[in-house]
Chains A and B, each alone.
Chain A
């Protein structure tokens, strides 16, 4: 399967702990996105990369969140000092620039207790 893959699929953590999610995009895609989805809502944009450059960050991405995409391949999203409000599904997506179709992974569910 050559789709977008995310790991882990589920994470339960205690408030105040740090968590990291990994995303492997479709191999030839140079754009990578992170979205957050809470129950009953549509996904909301967090940030995006073109190759290794992080080009835009949403105001939703507080200082406790950091995303990286070293070498323009996989990406990590780290949340420091987690809060209960961080509980959500974190979706990764990728696309080929100028093709305007974004493909999503299965998401990583985060529960902060």
Chain B
């Protein structure tokens, strides 16, 4: 069975601090994709990144960076120099690709609050 665990329910940091959101996953698939989505109070899930299981290179996009470690089944997300606009709930998700259906299994989310 597929499972995504986000152990941090809530995190609060002061603006400009760095923060890392943890994500641990379980899957028996050999090919899979991992995602991060941001959900602001408006409710829309905003796509941030997709990573496939064969690409373990870390990725940086502006203040965001992602660390994918297959050996520990983790896909952690770091925000550098946090800003108030980063306040949201962040979800890590895992896709089932073997059946051709890109159905996602989500974690329970981490609520991030950036204190001005």
How many residues on B have C-beta within 8 angstroms of the other chain's C-beta atoms? 27
**Neighbouring B residues of A43 by C-beta, 8 Å:** 45, 91, 104, 106
A42 touches B47 (CB 8 A): no
Asked if B64 lies at the interface with its beta carbon under 8 angstroms from chain A, I say: no
How many residues on A have C-beta within 8 angstroms of the other chain's C-beta atoms? 26
B101 touches A42 (CB 8 A): no
CB distance from B97 to the nearest CB of A (A): 7
CB distance from A24 to the nearest CB of B (A): 14
- Closest-by-CB residue of A relative to B106 is A42
- Closest-by-CB residue of A relative to B6 is A42
B44 touches A106 (CB 8 A): yes
Interface string of A45-84 (1 = CB under 8 A from B): 1001000000110000000000000000000000000000
B103 touches A91 (CB 8 A): no
A44 touches B95 (CB 8 A): no
Asked if A95 lies at the interface with its beta carbon under 8 angstroms from chain B, I say: yes
**Neighbouring B residues of A105 by C-beta, 8 Å:** 44
B107 touches A100 (CB 8 A): no
Question: Chain A residues in contact with chain B, CB under 8 A?
Answer: 31, 33, 35, 40-45, 48, 55-56, 89, 91, 93, 95, 97, 100-107, 109
